[in-house]
Chain A
Amino acid sequence: MVAKRRVFNTYIILVASIVFIYYVLVCVWPFAFNLYLSFRKTDLLTEDKFIGLGNFRFLWKDPIFWRSLRNNIFYLAMMVPLGIVTSLFAAALIYRTSGIMRKVYTALYFAPVVTSMAAASLIWQLLYYPKIGLFARILSSLFRLDPNSLTFLQNPTTALLCIIIMDVWKDSGLRTVIFLAGMDEIPDSIFESARIEGASEWRQFFSLTVPLLRPQLIFVGAIYSINAIRLFVPVYMMTGNPPGGPANSTKVLAIQMYQEAFYGLRFGYGATISMVIFALLVGLVILELRSFEQRWEY
């Protein structure tokens, strides 16, 4: 620490108070007000009354809420492992290249990361066009499927999976780059001694590379599970009007919260759902901090 203890320092007072006021306005007060709203039934205009735990009791019996929660959890459970495995595979392959080609591959895999999610969703929505879209054509000719059965986003059983696959594509470059940076940090001597002892490439990958990538794996897992809980844009963009269809098969918590509050004007109930999202986020962050604290010995 450098600063001498001075009684009055304009810099400290100015910056600290700006930071404090900003975070009170954008974080502390909104959170408190959100909590307050979750105990009320209000449209913010005419009606505003305290209903105790009424919103939470309604939430408990709301089948759409449970469906949304289930969809979020399904999304997390599919998206995180799929995303990690594909990117780990890509990183392991790119790791073996060098020079200009390595740059080319990184550039290609990274391109979707820098494009906006809204645009990516629109493109994929068209690729998923039922029956005569590009994917329907490719799949029906490759596997001799009936193109009329390939309705992707309009089929309740496949709709959410289609969004997951798009999302895996969208950010795989980012995860690959993170894993690649981790692999580059592993000293060559470790692989050298494994090779001398006769370990196969596969063996080296699973017993050395993967365990040594633990920090990156935890980080990626944490980021994408948080994203899965906050999921909004691709569902909103790809599932038409109102979003979340068909038959609530892609409805997620953020979508339901938005609809309850800003379509249905049930601001109290919307606030209740965002308290659930908040609780899930806190749970995930605690889990993440725990796994970071556990030291890995080797």
Chain B
Amino acid sequence: MRHRARRKVNQFILHCILLLGGALMVAPFVWMVLSSFKPSLEVISINFSFFPRRWTLANYIRVFREVSLGRAYINSLLVASCVTLSVLFSATAAGYLFSKLRFRGRDQLFILTLASVMIPPHIVLVPLYTLMNRLQWINTYQGLMFPFLMSAFGIFLMRQFIRGIPNDLVEAARIDGASDFRIYWSVILPLVRSALAVLGILTFLWNYDEFLWPLVVVHDNRMMTIPLILGHFTQAEAKFPGESMAACTLVVVPVLVVYAFFQTQFVKGISMTGLKG
């Protein structure tokens, strides 16, 4: 009996610590949302209050009027979606190539793609920038997407998954007269759907969050992505904290809502690839 009572107390303490920790994890978001409804002068003031004394929508109105946040949303969603689609198709195509087909130079090509992990776009910014300049892709969607259209991580991941597909299945399709394109489309793609979901979520998130490359390749306000727009607020922080938090809320809350719906897939997917990466 005493043993069980002690266990109950332990469990209670455990949940208390975890709830406190969880509250600390999301507290900055709560503070962000509350601050976005305060008049800017109240966010940073000597008379501190956690909740707004006077609720106002002025920050949101000003964000939409002064910063082209709507346009930035479209840019970000468009770039991240196109990149994600491209990564999904190319990673599966190359994964099939590297796991089930045999040709001369295959291993060398695979090593080349893996080596690219050590040369991310962020360390060859200058050459990529000159390339974009020569192609006249500065301030364009192609320019924003170009360095991320294929992902070595994605190719590696899909290669591992496709390896697990029995050779007999591919062989049977071949005997039925299917070409490799056909096998890729009707045999491989349907079988790797769960892995594609994971890779898609990750690629989308990473590209939605990409900062340094857009900073280099985009100067025009109309082509800016969400993170760059937020970058505008970093210097104006002292003067416009309310607007800054309103912009953050508009950026963060949609992602959190999507995350809340797909929570299990998110977590499972990320931890699964995390271990294989």
Question: Which A residues form the contact surface with B (CB < 8 A)?
Answer: 1-3, 5, 9-12, 15-16, 18-20, 22-23, 25-31, 33-34, 37, 44, 90, 93-94, 96-97, 101, 103-127, 129, 132-134, 137, 169, 172-174, 177-178, 180-182, 215-216, 219, 223, 230, 232-233, 236-238, 240-241, 254, 257-258, 261-262, 267, 270-271, 274, 277-278, 281-282, 285
- 10 new A-B contacts at CB < 8 Å, known A215-B275, A240-B234: A3-B180, A11-B101, A20-B112, A33-B127, A108-B26, A114-B259, A123-B32, A126-B43, A181-B272, A271-B127
Do the beta carbons of A97 and B14 come within 8 Å of each other?
yes
Nearest-Cβ distance from residue A214 to partner chain B, whole angstroms:
12
Asked if B109 CB lies within 8 Å of chain A CBs, one says yes
**Nearest 9 A/B pairs, CB to CB:** A11-B180, A108-B22, A30-B124, A30-B127, A118-B227, A33-B127, A181-B271, A27-B116, A118-B230
Q: Cα distance A90–B24 when bound, in Å?
A: 13
Nearest-Cβ distance from residue B168 to partner chain A, whole angstroms:
9
Residues in B neighbouring A118, C-beta threshold 8 A: 209, 211, 226-227, 230-231, 251
- Find A123's partner among B25, B123, B167, B245 (CB 8 Å cutoff): B245
Residues in A neighbouring B263, C-beta threshold 8 A: 103, 106-107, 110
* 13 sample A-B contacts, Cβ–Cβ < 8 Å, listed by A number: A10-B180, A11-B184, A30-B119, A108-B26, A110-B267, A111-B259, A114-B266, A116-B208, A116-B230, A119-B251, A125-B237, A173-B25, A270-B126
Q: Cα distance A215–B252 when bound, in Å?
A: 32
Asked if B118 CB lies within 8 Å of chain A CBs, one says yes
Do the beta carbons of A230 and B180 come within 8 Å of each other?
no
- Find A122's partner among B119, B121, B234, B274 (CB 8 Å cutoff): B234
Asked if B205 CB lies within 8 Å of chain A CBs, one says yes
Residues in B neighbouring A108, C-beta threshold 8 A: 21-23, 25-26
Asked if B270 CB lies within 8 Å of chain A CBs, one says yes
Do the beta carbons of B150 and A230 come within 8 Å of each other?
no
Residues in A neighbouring B48, C-beta threshold 8 A: 132, 134, 137
Residues in A neighbouring B215, C-beta threshold 8 A: 236, 258
Residues in B neighbouring A262, C-beta threshold 8 A: 125, 129, 216
Main secondary structure of the interface of A (DSSP, over half): helix
Main secondary structure of the interface of B (DSSP, over half): helix
Q: Cα distance A182–B128 when bound, in Å?
A: 39
Q: Cα distance A90–B22 when bound, in Å?
A: 10
Nearest-Cβ distance from residue B219 to partner chain A, whole angstroms:
11
- As a 0/1 sequence over residues 5 to 24 of chain B, the CB contacts with chain A under 8 angstroms (1 = contact) are 00000010011011001110
Residues in B neighbouring A278, C-beta threshold 8 A: 118-119, 123
- Find B256's partner among A2, A18, A115 (CB 8 Å cutoff): A115
Given known pairs A97-B18, A177-B270, A219-B277, the reply for A34 and B100 (CB within 8 Å) is no
The count of chain B contact residues (Cβ–Cβ below 8 Å) is 100
Q: Cα distance A110–B259 when bound, in Å?
A: 10
**Whose C-beta in chain A lies nearest to the C-beta of B29?**
A111
Residues in A neighbouring B205, C-beta threshold 8 A: 114
Do the beta carbons of A117 and B123 come within 8 Å of each other?
no
Nearest-Cβ distance from residue B33 to partner chain A, whole angstroms:
10
Q: Cα distance A241–B232 when bound, in Å?
A: 11
Q: Cα distance A113–B272 when bound, in Å?
A: 16
**Whose C-beta in chain B lies nearest to the C-beta of A136?**
B48
Q: Cα distance A37–B131 when bound, in Å?
A: 14
Residues in A neighbouring B17, C-beta threshold 8 A: 93
Nearest-Cβ distance from residue A80 to partner chain B, whole angstroms:
16
**Whose C-beta in chain B lies nearest to the C-beta of A126?**
B241
Nearest-Cβ distance from residue A122 to partner chain B, whole angstroms:
5
- Find A22's partner among B44, B122, B149, B174 (CB 8 Å cutoff): B149
Q: Cα distance A20–B155 when bound, in Å?
A: 13
Residues in B neighbouring A93, C-beta threshold 8 A: 14, 17-18, 21
Do the beta carbons of A238 and B234 come within 8 Å of each other?
yes
Asked if B1 CB lies within 8 Å of chain A CBs, one says no
Do the beta carbons of B28 and A127 come within 8 Å of each other?
yes
Nearest-Cβ distance from residue A139 to partner chain B, whole angstroms:
13
Do the beta carbons of A178 and B181 come within 8 Å of each other?
no
Q: Cα distance A101–B45 when bound, in Å?
A: 38
Given known pairs A28-B112, A122-B234, the reply for A1 and B102 (CB within 8 Å) is yes
Do the beta carbons of B15 and A97 come within 8 Å of each other?
yes
Do the beta carbons of B130 and A44 come within 8 Å of each other?
yes
Residues in A neighbouring B264, C-beta threshold 8 A: 103
Nearest-Cβ distance from residue B171 to partner chain A, whole angstroms:
5
**Whose C-beta in chain B lies nearest to the C-beta of A1?**
B102
Do the beta carbons of B126 and A34 come within 8 Å of each other?
yes
Residues in A neighbouring B117, C-beta threshold 8 A: 285
Residues in A neighbouring B97, C-beta threshold 8 A: 11-12, 15-16, 19
Q: Cα distance A121–B28 when bound, in Å?
A: 11
Do the beta carbons of A11 and B179 come within 8 Å of each other?
yes
Q: Cα distance A216–B230 when bound, in Å?
A: 34
Given known pairs A26-B146, A133-B44, A281-B123, the reply for A2 and B174 (CB within 8 Å) is yes
Given known pairs A9-B103, A97-B14, the reply for A107 and B260 (CB within 8 Å) is yes
- As a 0/1 sequence over residues 168 to 188 of chain B, the CB contacts with chain A under 8 angstroms (1 = contact) are 001100100001110010000
- As a 0/1 sequence over residues 27 to 52 of chain B, the CB contacts with chain A under 8 angstroms (1 = contact) are 01101100100000001111010000
Do the beta carbons of A241 and B235 come within 8 Å of each other?
yes
Do the beta carbons of B25 and A117 come within 8 Å of each other?
no
